Structure 1
Amino acid sequence: MTALKVENLTKTFPLKGSLFSSAKDGVRAVRPMSFSVEPGETLGVVGESGCGKSTLARMLVGLLEPTEGTIEIEGKALDNADPAEFGKLIQYVFQDPNSSLNPRKSIKQVMEAPLKRLYNMPKSERESRIREIFASVNLREEFLERYPHEFSGGQAQRIGIARALAANPRIIILDEPVSALDVSVQAQVLNLLARLKEEFGLTYLFITHDLAVVEAVSDRIIVLYFGAVVEVGKAEKIFANPRHPYTKLLADSAPVVGRALTAPEQKGTELPDPLDPPPGCAFAGRCPRATDRCRSEEPELRPMGEDQLAACHHPIEPGEG
């Protein structure tokens, strides 16, 4: 059974009372997208800021209601599921570990919340479960009586991971889980996540803008641009042999030791105006391969060889520079 399935998912934020907007239906933060995640897989999600990564993540865990489309976890539709039952299937680890923890509550209270609300677990069982989880993320029991402000970023992120694990979920959404941490701490947290995945049989959706990190931890990667999926492929291939020009732009912009830095784009380097989206391909204004067709006809996601899909009228051919 597929762990997570998304069909034609969209999110439009309505604009109320704006005198300056030309958008009639609001801002489309996520345009129709479909994908699936298999049990035990890590699916990476990459793209620039504003491409819809976090909006997608919040819809997947029920923090935002989709405008259209369906979300299924292990065959259960989000809109038909009991929130408590859904919480047992999927959990969220936030980008900023400190702001995601309630400063007014001790870590013990933070950890107890999902055990009380999702499982109605008695006190003795809660304490045993919390000790077990804390041991799995290498945290000392004495931390339970402290408050969030007393911890470093790395410790706070381990607590956030522990809180997600408390619900005993099948899937964890990791929204930029290491971007706020020092590089040395990032490695520790990534190693911890890899071990927990094996230990608990977890499925990950790993959202980040760090290409080196996502390539290292993911089985497959989806690339988002302007709220839509523009490429899907295996982690070891998608940046080595990109088929969509935007994926190549991302790969070329990532710093690599021993490679000269490429010159920045000279014009049209920003995402299109969400209040006035362009016709056709949203990337056409930045794409060196764009033609009149690209500026008038939106490309569909289609197969590009084995295990790779791209939404491009003029894809990069294998071996092409």
Structure 2
Amino acid sequence: MTQALKLTDLSKTFPVGRRLFGGPKGSVKAVHPLSLTVHQGETLGIVGESGCGKSTLARMLVGLLEPTTGQIEIEGAALDTADPAAFGKRIQYVFQDPISSLNPRKTIRQIMEAPLKRLHGMPAAERRARISEIFDSVNLREEFLDRYPHEFSGGQAQRIGIARALAAQARILILDEPVSALDVSVQAQVLNLLADLRRDFDLTYLFISHDLAVVEAVSDRIAVLYFGAVVEIGPAEEVFANPSHPYTRLLADSAPVVGRPLSAPEAEGTELPDPLNPPPGCAFAARCPRATERCRTETPRLSPVGPRTEAACFHPLSE
């Protein structure tokens, strides 16, 4: 399979506070060094609790944040992570809130033309033809081009956001909660559209969401993040049906299911690790019923726990 995206030891650390004299008071590791490979035409789902590093990872991938360490390769070519413009032609972002991601002072035509002008230097006639082609592919009428963002519904605005990403001719899209702000019926329409576009344009998706059911339905593989690190990765049909990491099981048990009473899967008062003072060993050890002394002193690394699944756990559930 052709490699679309490869991350090697990618990490991000943020300084916290300032001293009167000297450097910052401390630092937070939002993303620990991680390595991933995504194949062309694949959808990799990324899930985890709020604050686990999903959006920070996404912002590094599109050049909005410069990584602290590591390398990003797209189709075998390493990108200069200090040059955000280098990302535009290769990888694009579809935002969670479709309305606020569009400039309210510009028409949709002006919004669509921007990447064609700045990234590709495309003349006016080619821009018109390209925009017409893209709008047809996302099922929007060309008459919408002379309107402003506030004139559209959430579903229409998200289609425009997807069209803008396609205009840059990137083959990798970062979809950050792309349907969470939409009504359920509209969600299905947008997800079906994304599936059609992936097939028609041979696109690769990184799909970030809190909705486990949606991620499982649209993804080929799923990566589970906890405390800035990947703790499990494997085929979508296996990760939640037969989780290997206790944290993955916790996520699956926390998801609401129609007809099942809501109940907390953890004891009341359970606390997340302190990012300013991370615990030694496995970050999930304090919440894990299978933790041993080894878990509290050593940090597990991703290792095979099945034919196609890896987990960072000394005592995986598959044992």
TM-score, structure 1 normalization: 0.94
Partner residue, 2:298? 297
Shift of 1:264: 4.0
- Check the 8 A contact 2:26/2:276 in 1, yes or no: no
Aligned residues: 315
Shift of 1:257: 3.0
Counterparts in 2 of 1:1-321, with a 5 A limit?
1-17=2-18, 25-79=26-80, 84=85, 86-267=87-268, 269-317=270-318
Measured against aligned partners, the alpha-carbon deviations of 1:6-65 in whole angstroms (never above 9, x if no partner) come to: 01110001123169xxx9651110001111000110000000110000000010111100
- After the TM superposition, which parts of structure 1 deviate over 2 Å for at least 4 consecutive aligned residues? 80-86, 256-264, 267-271
Q: Tell me how far apart the structure 2 counterparts of residues 65 and 268 of structure 1 sit (CA, whole Å).
A: 36
SS in 2 for 1:14: strand
- Tell me whether 117-126 or 72-81 shows the greater mean CA deviation: 72-81
Shift of 1:77: 1.2
- Tell me whether 140-149 or 75-84 shows the greater mean CA deviation: 75-84
Amino acid at match of 2:300: P
Shift of 1:262: 3.6
Aligned CA-pair RMSD: 1.7
- Check the 8 A contact 2:66/2:82 in 1, yes or no: no
Amino acid at match of 1:139: L
Identity in percent = 76
Q: Tell me how far apart the structure 2 counterparts of residues 181 and 49 of structure 1 sit (CA, whole Å).
A: 19
Change (3 A) 1:276 1:18: farther
Change (3 A) 1:143 1:270: farther
SS in 1 for 2:126: helix
TM-score, structure 2 normalization: 0.95
Shift of 1:100: 0.7
Measured against aligned partners, the alpha-carbon deviations of 1:135-186 in whole angstroms (never above 9, x if no partner) come to: 1101111111111111111111000000000011111110110011111110
Change (3 A) 1:81 1:272: closer
Q: Tell me how far apart the structure 2 counterparts of residues 192 and 263 of structure 1 sit (CA, whole Å).
A: 35
Give 5+ residue unaligned stretches, structure 1: none
Amino acid at match of 2:276: L
- Tell me whether 248-257 or 84-93 shows the greater mean CA deviation: 84-93
Amino acid at match of 2:242: N
Q: Tell me how far apart the structure 2 counterparts of residues 128 and 138 of structure 1 sit (CA, whole Å).
A: 16
- Check the 8 A contact 1:268/1:285 in 2, yes or no: no
Q: Tell me how far apart the structure 1 counterparts of residues 82 and 301 of structure 2 sit (CA, whole Å).
A: 31
Q: Tell me how far apart the structure 2 counterparts of residues 270 and 172 of structure 1 sit (CA, whole Å).
A: 34
